Amino acid sequence: MIKEQFTELIDKELDPYLGRLDYGNLRKAKDWPASSQEGYTFQLAYELNFGSTTVSFLVLTPNSTLSFWHLDDENEYNLEEGMNKFLEEIKEIPDKRIKRTIESVQTAKKANIISSFEELLNKACNELKKDELELYTQEELDKLRNYFSSHNT
């Protein structure tokens, strides 16, 4: 019964973030949750700009504790602590997306590949055949443009 209750809880907690661009198109694995020897695995994936897909695993163990396969964390947590830790990571995705973009621009500028964020954005839009609002939310674009204009990059 704990699996069903936990699945309902995690589904409810994740619902506001699923499929949102600012959360990297967060999505659940098709096999939700997957049963294994370790317990039940809840797998999530999301995109960071200019990076690969990030996959996170949350494991509900047979003794009703939570562990993580995606963090450098080998601890087991009680359900409340583990869920809070997991949701903290989810809520950090928008900041991770901004940070990844800033790092990508800085790296590309050092390598003389681009001269500005706008140039990188235009290249990405052209290569992916997408509008900038398909890659970033307006809020993300505003944050990035503010950052790069205030840092003169």
* DSSP-derived secondary structure for 87-109: HHHHHTHHHHHHHHHHHHHHHHH
Same domain, residue pair 48 and 66:
yes
Q: Higher confidence at residue 39 or residue 22?
A: 22
76-88 confidence digits (pLDDT tens): 788 888 888 889 8
Smallest Cα–Cα separation from 101: which of 73, 134, 133, 136? Answer: 136
This prediction has a pTM of 0.84
Of 67, 91, 115, which residue constitutes the final position of a domain? 91
Domain extent, residue 113, equals 95-150
Asked if residue 71 has pLDDT above 60, the reply is no
Of 60, 76, 91, which residue constitutes the final position of a domain? 91
Number of separate domains in the chain: 2
Comparing 24-33, 71-80, 126-135, the range with the smallest average pLDDT is 71-80
11-25 confidence digits (pLDDT tens): 999 999 999 999 999
- 102 contact partners, CB below 8 Å, separation of at least 6: 144, 147
Q: What is the mean pLDDT of residues 99-108?
A: 92
Cβ 147 vs Cβ 102: under 8 Å? yes
